Structures are given as C-alpha cells and as structure tokens.
Chain A
Amino acid sequence: MKSAIILFPGTNREKDMADALRRAGGAEPAMVWHRETTLPPVDLIVAPGGFSYGDYLRCGAMAGNSPIMRAVAERAKAGVHVLGVCNGFQILTEVGLLPGALMRNAGLKFICKTTPLRIENSDTAFTHLCPPDRPMMTPVAHNEGAYVADPETLDRLEGEGRVVFRYADENGAVTEAANINGSQRNIAGVINDAGTVLGMMPHPENATAPHLAGVDGLPLFRSLVERLS
C-alpha cells in the first residue's frame, strides 16, 4: 500500500503516522507539503494530527483552503481512500469531505488520555480487522473534539452505519459518562457515504507498539494495508 501524508505548518503527528503505516506493512509514506498542488500515485492519503496554521480562525479552516487540499479532494472524489486523524478530521470536515464539525470540548479542557472506543462498524476498509467485540483503547489529545451536526445528519449517519467509532467505557458501553468531550451521540469517528474517507479524533497511530499506548490501533492500519495493497 502506497500512502502520502500531508504536512501543514503546525502538523506534529506525521512521524507517528508514518511509523504506524510502516509497522502495519505499508510502503514508505511520501510526505507532501501543503503548497504542493499534486499528489503522487497512492492508495491512501492521510491528514495527520497537529495544529495546522496554529488553529487560526477555526481548527482546520486555513488548511482546508490550502493548495494541496484541492488535490486531496479531487483524489477523494475519484475514490482514493483518505484518513483524517484529529486535526486531520477537522480539516476533512472543513473541506466538506465529511459532514459535521468539531467544536471546543464541553469541559473546556484539553484532553490527553487513552480512552476506550466502541467500534460501531467493522465492515469498512479501515476497520475490518479491528475486533468489534471489545473496546479499542486509543489515545486522544485535543481541545476541539466535540462532534456536532444537525439532527437529520446525525440520524442519517447512524442509519447508514457511518458512525464508525464512539466514546465508550471500558466495557464498551456507550454512556454519557464516557463521552469525554461532549460529542453529539458520543461520536468519535465517521465515514463518508462511499466508505472511503474516515475521520476520527482519537489517535490510532499512537497505539501501534507496546512501548506506546498499546497496540489496539494496529488493526486499523493492517486493515488498510490488506485492503488497499
């Protein structure tokens, strides 16, 4: 699986993402700077975490209007798989590749901890190797992670199986108490209607080795390598 990782000024998780892709057996990822207007031929494009453009105006707003994102949107429309993690998720909503938006955490605090996620849809290119019967322990590190969308959009996402991850407790139960950031309906990750663009606030790339936050994130990257190679 060939991949490209998009780099913006302020991106800071690109090396973690590259490590995760390598650990899962993917080819050496290409790093693509935000001023580029074209992408190499790849099977997967990743918008990694960080603070692109210093989070000015709104998280992801400036990055969403950068030259490279036009190329990413074109590839996404042509069916190339795209993964957006944390700030990458915010950027994908800003460019309209995914519905909804990410707002300030309800508790007004930056949240940095490993949290259980319930896998709501394990029939995607991103999750088919993720064990659905137990929560995926995944680190989060964000200040603007509360997922919002209008009720019709939320109903549609749920009805179409497009809510892929929800914040849950350690038993995998989706509860109000487990909703760490005030996301509507505990939503932590959503996918587009074609099943090719996934955005999530938690960082699976930081759970891909025993010396990190465990290895629960590795099946997500292995899913992609198996499906897209």
Chain B
Amino acid sequence: MKATVTITLKQGVLDPQGKAIEHALTGLGFDGVGEARQGKVIALTLDESDEAAARAAVEAMCKQLLANPVMEDYEIALTP
C-alpha cells in the first residue's frame, strides 16, 4: 500500500510561515484568502497490503517519529 501522511501545525499554534504566505498571496491580489497554514507531506510505500494493519503501523510511525504531538496534528491517507 501507499500511505500519505499530512502533518500540520495544531490550531492555535502560531504558524509564521503560513502568515507570510497569506500576506504574499494578498499582496499578489488574490483576494479572499482567510488563512494559510503550512505543513509537510511524507509519502511512504509499505509492504503491508491489509489496510487496518497499514494504518496501525503508520500511526505508530507518526507517534514515534513523523509528528511531534506537542505542536503538530497528522492525517493518514492510504491507497492500494
């Protein structure tokens, strides 16, 4: 399976890079951008073919290494 982990800063955590992007977009004339938040995407290729087992493995990876729970949230998307 393939797993895509999207890591974003928690709501309420100041995101200065997102703020800079937001200001730049407004400066370029893109009206109506309320808020920009920057994160990162980690794409994994897994040997596992069972979705539940793959999700459990990637959850463990997120908790141990990929995300820092103090400041980040993560979402896992799995595709065959």
Contact = CB atoms under 8 A, between A and B. Distances in A.
B70 interface: yes
B42 to A, nearest CB: 9
Secondary structure of the A side of the interface? loop
Interface stretch (A27-35, A37-45, A97-105): A97-105
Interface in B22-80: 64-66, 68, 70-71
Interface residues of A, number: 20
Interface stretch (A17-25, A57-65, A67-75, A158-166): A57-65
Interface size on B, as a range, is 10 to 19
B16 A182 contact: yes
A25 to B, nearest CB: 37
B1 interface: no
Max chain A C-beta neighbours (<10 A), residue from B64, B68, B71:
B68
B16 A108 contact: yes
Contacts, number: 36
Contacts of B13: 103, 148
A101 B17 contact: no
Interface of B: 9, 13-14, 16-17, 20, 64-66, 68, 70-71
Interface of A: 57-58, 61, 65, 93-94, 99-101, 103-108, 146, 148-150, 182
